[in-house]
Amino acid sequence: MKKILLVAVLLSVAFISCKKEKDKPEPKSQAAKEEELIKAYLTEKNISAKKDAASGLYYYIEAPGTGMRPSSLSRVTVNYKSEALTTGKEISSGTNVNFWLPDTITGWKIGLPLICKGGKIVLFAPSDLAFKNGYVGIVPANTVVIFYIELLDVTTPE
Q: Does 153 map to a domain?
A: yes
Please check whether residue 68 lies inside any domain of the structure. Answer: yes
Is 10 domain-assigned? Answer: no
Domain count, the chain: 1
User: Count of CB atoms within 10 A of residue 149's CB?
Assistant: 24
pLDDT at 14: 44
Look at residue 136 in the predicted model and tell me its pLDDT.
60
**Cα distance between residue 92 and residue 138, in whole Å:** 9
**Does residue 40 lie in a domain region?**
no
Residue 157: CATH number of its domain: 3.10.50.40
Mind listing the pLDDT tens digit of every residue in the chain (158 residues)? 544 443 343 444 444 445 454 555 566 689 999 999 999 999 999 999 999 999 999 999 999 999 899 999 999 999 999 999 999 999 999 999 999 999 999 999 999 999 999 999 999 999 999 998 887 678 899 999 999 999 999 998 87
**Per residue, what are the HEC states of the chain?**
CHHHHHHHHHHHHHHHHHCCCCCCCCHHHHHHHHHHHHHHHHHHCCCCCEEECCCCEEEEEEECCCCCCCCCCCEEEEEEEEEECCCCCEEEEEEEEEEEHHHCCHHHHHHHHHCCCCCEEEEEECHHHCCCCCECCCECCCCCEEEEEEEEEEECCC
Please report the pLDDT score of residue 26 as a whole number: 61
Question: What domain range is 71 assigned to?
Answer: 49-158
What pTM was computed for the model?
0.81
